[in-house]
Amino acid sequence: MLASLWESAQSLMHHKGHPNNWLLVESGALALLGLCFPEFKEAEQWFSTGLERLCAELARQFYPDGVHFELSPLYHGICIGVLLDLVNAASFYERSLHAGILEVLEKGLDYLAWIMRPDHTWPALNDSGGFQGNYCALMKYAGYTLRKGKHRRRAWDCESDPQARGCRTFQDGGVTIMRTGNRQHPAYLLFRAGPAGASHVHGDVLSLELHAMGRSWLVDPGIASYAPGELTDYYRSAKAHNTILIDDREPRPDLQDFRERTRSGRENTFSLCGEDVHVAAGIYRGPWGGDAGLHSWVRSIVCVKEGEYFIVVDELYGTGCHVVATRWQFAPVEVRFSNETRSIIAVDSASGAALMIKPAEPHASLDVRILQGSEVPWGGWVSKEGLDIPAPQCLCTMRVNLPSRIAWLLMPSHPADPSDVAFRWRSHTPTGGLALEICAPYNYTDIVTLGRLDASLRLDGKWRDHPYVRLIRVHSD
């Protein structure tokens, strides 16, 4: 065994793997071998070389906000695990580590803690296995490692409540998390608006996840296998995610060059956290299909009154008449479409909780098709524990003239069916913004006003200087 360890260390000294998580993991392993086996005469060289390479890779692969540049919770977690092993061993052998290692470790753990759903599962962004990721063991290991020795830092675990309520944007990674509600009925929305990732890329452009009323409703389906095949290709495509297609052209971030795929999301993401509303927005400028700049797309997410409901507004820039397909991928649950109210209704039969999704009126051209376990066309699948599970996906198509705005209301309820809620365009504001009216069966009417969006603007620029979203609630007698 000792001979094998020596040979492995020597191989790592003279060989560098793929320039992604592999190289980071191999650098950490080399440093760990030098640390844990000081009897080898090369041990100190292994340790110093491994640390030098590791620090270089941490600076290259982790954004300043702590998100790994592959934008995969799975590979993010693998890299964090390597750092925890090194910190744990350094504490035992009373060796010091570069302060930057602990900084990346803490920020990386903070990101994992924030994206954890209320039920202590994780989303499957990019290649990350099943739609219910489980990194609780890693978080407990982090809590153990960082509580002891001279590295006494903040502790993480999966047994306490998830992060405090509020809105948090990891701007470099382009991921926004909205945590609202209360302990009995916490709500969680994750919005993906940043770079595609260095590798393991999926077409989840401006996609979202929603967990409310004790369960996940809208999810990233994950991926069951890397083996070549039509289902693997489907899981990685935009058609598997909560995103849009235009004239059946998919967002294709995988066609961007490496620099663009890994560019910080700070120029393309925006968020505000208010007392009554949270808002996040992102921009995608192409390519679509195999073409570059056909259209630009701005998606805004508004969370109202601690997760009472959410509004998704898609602003599409371009010219001409086009068919826009909005896809809603559900976790396994009962889903139906009501022609009478033009609403998608998902119901958890065990708890009685429901989620309604409906477009703002008017929507004369709306056509809804529910796919579940479909192979022609591919649609309605999620991955769970390595298996492909049928789960409903709603394919909603509209014919629109660009530029155009499409708005959706996402309203969780418990119990019963919220389909008697009215949701319509009220007006356009004098400054070019828009106003939406929500008439709920709870004796109130909300007017939600959004500022004007322009795909040519940077979201972290001029928009920060103006009121972007406003809520007016009118109670009836």
Shared domain for 76 and 189, answered yes or no, is no
- Tell me how crowded residue 474 is: count the other CB atoms within 10 A of its CB: 11
Residues 122, 195: one domain? no
For residue 363, what are the CA distances in angstroms to 30, 95, 297, 368, 402? 60, 65, 19, 12, 15
Q: What is the pLDDT of residue 81?
A: 97
Report the pLDDT value the prediction gives residue 449, as an integer from 0 to 100: 84
- 3-state SS assignment for residue 48: helix
305 confidence band (pLDDT: 50, 70, 90): confident
At residue 465, the pLDDT reads 42
What pTM was computed for the model?
0.93
Q: Which of 126-130, 290-294, 363-367 has the lowest mean pLDDT?
A: 290-294
Quickly state the pLDDT bin for 162 (edges 50, 70, 90).
low
Beta-bridge partner residues of 245: 325
Residue 321 belongs to some domain of the structure: yes
- Please, are residues 97 and 90 in contact by the beta-carbon 8 Å criterion? yes
What does the pLDDT look like over 211-262, one tens digit per residue? 999 999 999 999 999 999 999 999 999 999 999 999 999 999 999 999 999 9
With respect to residue 208, please indicate whether it lies within any of the assigned structural domains. yes
For the stretch 393-419, pLDDT in tens is 999 999 999 988 899 999 998 765 565
19 within a domain of the structure (yes/no): yes
The two beta strands, 354-359 and 387-390, are unpaired
260 and 321 both lie in a single domain: yes
**pLDDT score of 462:** 43
352 in the same domain as 245 = yes
Domain count across the chain: 2
296: DSSP letter: E
Residue 116: count of CB within 10 angstroms of its CB: 25
Q: Which domain holds residue 69?
A: 2-147
Q: Do 213 and 327 share a structural domain?
A: yes
Query: The CATH number of the domain where 13 resides is what?
Result: 1.50.10.100
For residues 297 and 286, the answer to whether their CB atoms sit within 8 Å is no
pLDDT at position 90 is 94
- Do 173 and 265 reside in the same domain of the chain? yes
pLDDT at 297 over 60: yes
Domain identity same for 143 and 49: yes
**DSSP string spanning 114-183?**
HH--TTS-B---SS-SSSSB--HHHHHHHHHHHHSTT-------SSS--SPSEEEEETTTTEEEEEEE-S
Q: Are residues 231 and 258 located together in one domain of the fold?
A: yes
Whether pLDDT at 91 is above 50: yes
Domain annotation covers residue 428: no
Q: Based on the fold, state whether residues 68 and 178 are members of the same structural domain.
A: no
The mean pLDDT of 65-88, rounded to a whole number, is: 97
